[in-house]
Amino acid sequence: MTDQHIESHSSVKQWAASAGHHNDPAEVREQRLRILAAFCARVEKQPDELVAFCILRKKATGEQFLSVKRRETINNWLEEFTAEQGWAGKQAVVNANVVRSFLIHNGVLIQGPVWRG
């Protein structure tokens, strides 16, 4: 998935608009998109599908809810992904949180480790 391609997804547009990415330098924006695109490729999901993956419906009522288990799965995937990328220390935390930022700005509350160094 190219950076241009990933930008066309509505969830990615929502992320950029909500987080105010238009104010950031081009290289920062591109780096974020690269990380998201690589993660999406790793888990074989389009960005919109990644958001949808976290949202389930209650069988009884059809009501939507954010799945704790699905978000745990995302966190596990992120842990594997950062290790595969060879990221460590603060870089691992920051880059994994790029993906979490994408989810957060699409209404998925998700938290991961903090850099305490």
Partner 1 sequence: MEFKQVVGNRRTIRFFDPNRPVEEEKIQVMLEAANRASRAVNADFAKAIVCYRDELSDEVREAMKTPTSTVQIDLAPVTIFWYGDTSFVNGAQGRLKELVDLGALPVTHGWTHAYVDNLVYPQVLEPMSKDQIATVWAVSVETGLAIAQAMLAGVDEGLGVGLHAFNAAGVKDVLKVPDHWVPMWILLVGYPAEDAKGGGQRPRRALSDSFYRGQYGNPWQEIPETTERLKREGMIQEPMPADASQRRAEIRQLAERFGLPL
Which parts of this chain interact with partner 1 (CB under 8 A)?
19, 68, 71-72, 74-75, 90, 93-94, 97-98, 100-101, 104, 109-116
Name the minimum Å distance from CB 87 to partner 1. 11
Using H for helix, E for strand and C for coil, what is the string for 34-86?
HHHHHHHHHHCCCHHHHHHHCEEECCCCCCEEECHHHHHHHHHHHHHHHHHHC
Q: What are phi and psi of 51, to 5 degrees?
A: -65, -50
Is the Cβ–Cβ distance between 114 and 93 less than 8 Å? yes
CB of 2 to partner 1, least distance (A): 23
Nearer to partner 1, 56 or 93 (CB): 93
CB of 109 to partner 1, least distance (A): 6
75 or 85, CB closer to partner 1? 75
2 vs 94, which CB is nearer to partner 1? 94
